[in-house]
């Protein structure tokens, strides 16, 4: 009797978890901000405000920031919070390295339409790639796809089927469930998240060179996940250890980050 009752309770729990899985995941994963608070013009950099459309009809907003005497192009995938107007430091950094930059907002972020969903973010980055290659006529070999935090698996997903010159993963994770388990040890992370944003799985099917960047000081995504991510790369790879917090490590470590990125791109990125 007790065994049967426990079995029923277990089935009820699983059913409840399945029913709430989508909303629970989305609340954990996405923290979009709609208002655009600044633009590259605010820091004296010329840019083009643009729109393009995902294959399911969602209209997406982005910025094209060209560099004079360009030495390559960055397709940048941002994290799970804010929007592109919080990326001015990032844009200036790559602009100063003579790299064109395309930043874009996933659906539900900034001025992009729709609501954020995992599958939707994959459609969105595919649309951004298509815009670069077909509308801007950028040679794929001169493109470096950079994903920071939640942008890591989105960037890695893209590179399974497209062939950029290089992929850079900053402060990102193996799977979303692994991050949830780190912060909420008693929560059924695998039940709720499953293979959501399985960066390590994507990396096993990627052919371009990969740079993994992580800080031991990262308080959101543990350094161990960055190391595990690096191990999952089958092909050409490099690891760059920086210092500082999850959100500002790349700026706190400019003396490490910039030379490390330049060395990696110098070895692997086809010049424009």
Q: What does the pLDDT average to over 160-175?
A: 97
The residue to which tokens 């490490």 are assigned: 256
Domain harbouring 174, CATH code: 3.40.50.1820
Q: Considering the entire predicted model, what is its pTM? A: 0.91
Q: Per residue in 142-157, pLDDT tens?
A: 999 999 999 999 999 9
Q: Specify the number of domains making up the chain.
A: 1
Q: 41 is in which domain, residue-wise? A: 2-268
Q: Per residue in 85-126, pLDDT tens?
A: 999 999 999 999 999 999 999 999 999 999 999 999 999 999
Position 8 pLDDT exceeds 70? no
Q: Per residue in 185-215, pLDDT tens?
A: 877 888 888 999 999 999 999 999 999 999 9
Q: What confidence score (pLDDT) does residue 2 get?
A: 37
Position 12 pLDDT exceeds 70? no
- Transcribe 150-219 into DSSP letters: THHHHHHHHTTTS--SEEEEES--S-HHHHHHHH-TTS-HHHHHTTTT-HHHHHTT--S-EEEEE-TT-S
């Amino acid at each position: 009797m007790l065994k049967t009752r426990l079995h029923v309770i277990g089935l009820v729990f699983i059913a409840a978890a399945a029913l709430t899985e989508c909303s629970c995941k989305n609340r954990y994963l996405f923290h979009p901000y709609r208002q655009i608070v600044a633009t590259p013009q605010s820091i004296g950099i010329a840019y083009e405000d643009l729109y393009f459309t995902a294959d399911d009809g969602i209209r997406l907003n982005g910025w094209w920031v060209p560099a004079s005497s360009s030495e390559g192009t960055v397709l940048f995938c941002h994290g799970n919070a804010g929007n592109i107007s919080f990326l001015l430091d990032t844009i200036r950094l790559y602009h100063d390295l003579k790299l064109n930059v395309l930043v874009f907002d996933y659906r539900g972020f900034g001025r992009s339409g729709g609501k954020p969903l995992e599958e939707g973010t994959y459609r969105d980055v595919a649309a951004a790639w298509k815009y670069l290659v077909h509308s801007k006529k950028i040679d794929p070999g001169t493109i470096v796809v950079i994903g920071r935090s939640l942008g890591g698996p989105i960037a890695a997903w893209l590179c399974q089927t497209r062939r950029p010159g290089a992929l850079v993963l900053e402060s990102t994770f193996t799977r979303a469930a692994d991050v949830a388990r780190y912060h909420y040890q008693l929560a059924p992370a695998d039940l709720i998240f499953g293979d959501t944003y399985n960066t390590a799985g994507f990396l096993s099917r990627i052919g371009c060179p990969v740079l993994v960047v992580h800080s031991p000081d990262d308080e959101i995504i543990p350094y161990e996940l960055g190391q595990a991510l690096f191990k999952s790369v089958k092909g050409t790879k490099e690891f760059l250890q920086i210092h500082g917090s999850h959100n500002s490590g790349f700026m706190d470590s400019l003396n490490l980050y910039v030379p490390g990125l330049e060395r990696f791109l110098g070895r692997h990125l086809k010049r424009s």
